[in-house]
Structure 1
């Protein structure tokens, strides 16, 4: 049997590549006669560039940018040439990721995406035809104002100090916004987001994601107000385009993906970006449909298989790709908090947790690779005819 192992990273414990290796080791123990192919994946968040580099090759260009608190941090741009066209892949989490912050540093009222702007500038330096920016896993909630400051839209002192200072933003703070858009006009800018949330509202970035980045309920409400004010100022500086069919204004803050990475998607849409699913961008780039068609079973995975896993994630993308060609897909996760009915609704044939009981959670964090190997071994014996 040919088994395709295509996990995302297990957040906080294993990268996608490490997870794929652990799944492979366990599977070989349980079903040593099976043929295994490893394809680490990403939804646009942490591991985006590594997953693409592992599958596409290309040149990795090293640089140094600032983290969410302004400290230097290493980052990379992946440059891939195909048919005379150069694509630069950028992973925003390398500059604004939550993993870059200690627990007591997590405060989205003051963390900034300035470093992502620096990373985008580094991508522009390689003269690409296309730039794909992976969004996800951020520790920021600044509507991408920091990124805009780094590219020259306005002063860092006004735009690059986090989300909360945006509550006093003024049109003069965005005097260079048009110039930034002009700078990117000839580049196909793809916004590969891990979520399709808008910037504002009950389903927006502050309401849904600010708490996990360290915001209190009061902070989240103030951030919502600050980002709303910022979007209104942007609308005065750069009035929205008009929908030719309806005559209504096209408001970027309401677009799917605008709320990704704390509103970083919004800033990229402002300067000409076009939205895309992060996981679909990765699956397309690695030729995943062809890989699935040659497999007998697909195994995906992530740290926590929960309600958020049911929309726009690696697990969903893998399950849908497998369903299109009639190949069964299963997920092996650190924890499984979604029922069988919900799992079947996205095309999964099985869900397996490393930590099946609450008392097993500590062990899974203490030895994430070892416990994943052990679980994969048991799953292999269940699914592989060779194991019988």
Structure 2
């Protein structure tokens, strides 16, 4: 029996490699002689760098960059063996996990550190940048990132703004005279973990703002500010990116990378499936196990579980093991999944649930394996 275990991370709880190990431990207690293939995966969010490095080898650096709240944080950046390609994960610089629960509000966070990671990559001689843009705490439209790369943004009085989310309300003009010209010499690919547009009811602000701490009464104002910012910047640079699929990824940094750096958008999960050769590995699998922290109707929009499920052969059972199940998850049964099993064992404080994730996943996996036996 061949079993492929290809989960995404459980956000703020376990990275994908540990999730895979927990699932493997549970299944191995029931199927000790099975052939196992562990493929920790990501879709542009947390774990993207580690998954790509695992596929390509290379080295990982850790540098100090500006964190989401303006304070220094240590962020990892990886390079291929030949040093030509840099793998950058937005969440390393401004991930939601870097902001304490009581301080979460994308009005106050910045993507500036992402730009600093890009500068480091170019300083090291990389000619290709692959940037995963999921898991962020920001909704600044990539303004912070662009500021780090030399763009300047001003309010109506021509005063420079810092590049946090709330600055979108005040930006009236910009300048690219100090833009880092090395951007013309590198190829940048965005690994987007979602397909949402920049603005509107299905855009960055309305869909992801609340989970980042944006107050409900600020949603409309923030969405309109994002729209105005990109109308101004798009007119200045002669390009409209607001309607691109995936432009709303990373709090709008998807649009920002395209507009300010000439990057190309690609579905993160498609890039990962290609680099990890998931389809080839799954072609003769009997069981394919996917997973992420929460599975709901959004999972079908470019998320890792639905992407991996498409790689499973018709005869395989595709099982999802997740932290929790959200509204609309039943649609996943029409997208290749046979069953979904949440792992939360009881009504507990969130810190208990997050801290016990490995054991909860292991126990649930053992139970699923017993059922399949």
1:85, distance to aligned residue in structure 2 (A): 8.2
Contact 1:65 1:95 in 2 (8 A): yes
1:198 aligns with 2:187: no
TM-score (norm 1): 0.88
Match of 1:110 among 84, 108, 111: 108
Mapped to 1, the partners of 2:182 and 2:120 lie a distance apart of 13
What do residues 173-229 of structure 1 show as CA deviations (whole Å, max 9, x unaligned)? 33337x44x432232211111111111111111111111111112222221122122
Q: Post-superposition, which runs of at least 4 consecutive aligned residues in structure 1 deviate over 4 A?
A: 338-341, 360-364
Supply the distance in 1 between the matched residues of 2:41 and 2:25 (Cα, whole angstroms).
18
Match of 2:141 in 1: 143
Write out per-residue CA displacement over residues 39-84 of structure 1, whole angstroms, 9 at most, x where no aligned residue.
1111111111112223332111221111111111111221114xx7
1:46–1:137 CA contact under 8 A, matched in 2: yes
d(CA) in 2 for partners of 1:174 and 1:197?
28
1:219-260 per-position Cα deviation (integer Å, ceiling 9, x unaligned): 2222112212211221231122xxxxxxxxxx2011111111
> TM-score if structure 2 supplies the norm length?
0.92
Give CA deviations for 1:113-141 in whole Å, capped at 9, x if unaligned: 00010011112123223211001111111
Question: Does residue 20 of structure 1 match 2:16?
Answer: no
Query: 2:160 maps to which residue?
Result: 158
Q: Distance in 1 between matches of 2:253 and 2:285?
A: 37
CA distance in 1, matches of 2:253, 2:177: 18
Structure 2 SS opposite 1:258: coil
Residue number among 337, 343, 346 corresponding to 2:326 in the alignment: 337
Alignment of 1:255-334 (within 5 A): 255-270=244-259, 271-323=261-313, 326-334=315-323
Aligned 1:30-109 pairs, distance under 5 A: 30-81=30-81, 86-109=84-107
**Who is 1:247 aligned against?**
none
Contact 2:122 / 2:182 at 8 angstroms: preserved in 1?
Answer: no
Q: Structure 1 residues 263, 282: CA separation in 2 closer, same or farther (over 3 Å shift)?
A: same
Deviation readout 1:338-359 (Å, 9 max, x if unpaired)? 6785222111122222237x64
**1:69 and 1:55, CA in 2 relative to 1: closer, same or farther beyond 3 A?**
same
Separation in 2, partners of 1:359, 1:89: 38
1:188 maps to: 187
| SS of alignment partner, residue 130 of structure 2 | strand
Task: Check whether the contact 2:322–2:341 (CA below 8 A) recurs between aligned residues.
Answer: yes
- Asked if structure 1 preserves the Cα contact closer than 8 Å seen for 2:109 and 2:139, the reply is yes
Over residues 251-279 of structure 1, what are the superposed CA-to-partner deviations in whole Å (9 max), with x where a residue is unaligned? 20111111111111111010211110111
Question: Quick check: 1:299–1:330 contact (8 Å CA) kept in 2?
Answer: yes
| CA distance in 1 between partners of 2:315 and 2:37 (Å) | 18
- What is the aligned length? 367
Matched position secondary structure for 1:302:
coil
Residues 1:254 and 1:214: Cα distance change in structure 2 (over 3 Å): same
- Pick closer, same or farther for the CA change 1:307–1:217 going to 2, 3 Å: same
In the alignment, structure 1 segments of 5+ residues that lack a partner are 241-250
Displacement after TM superposition at 1:158 (Å): 3.5
Q: Which runs of 5+ in 2 are unaligned?
A: none
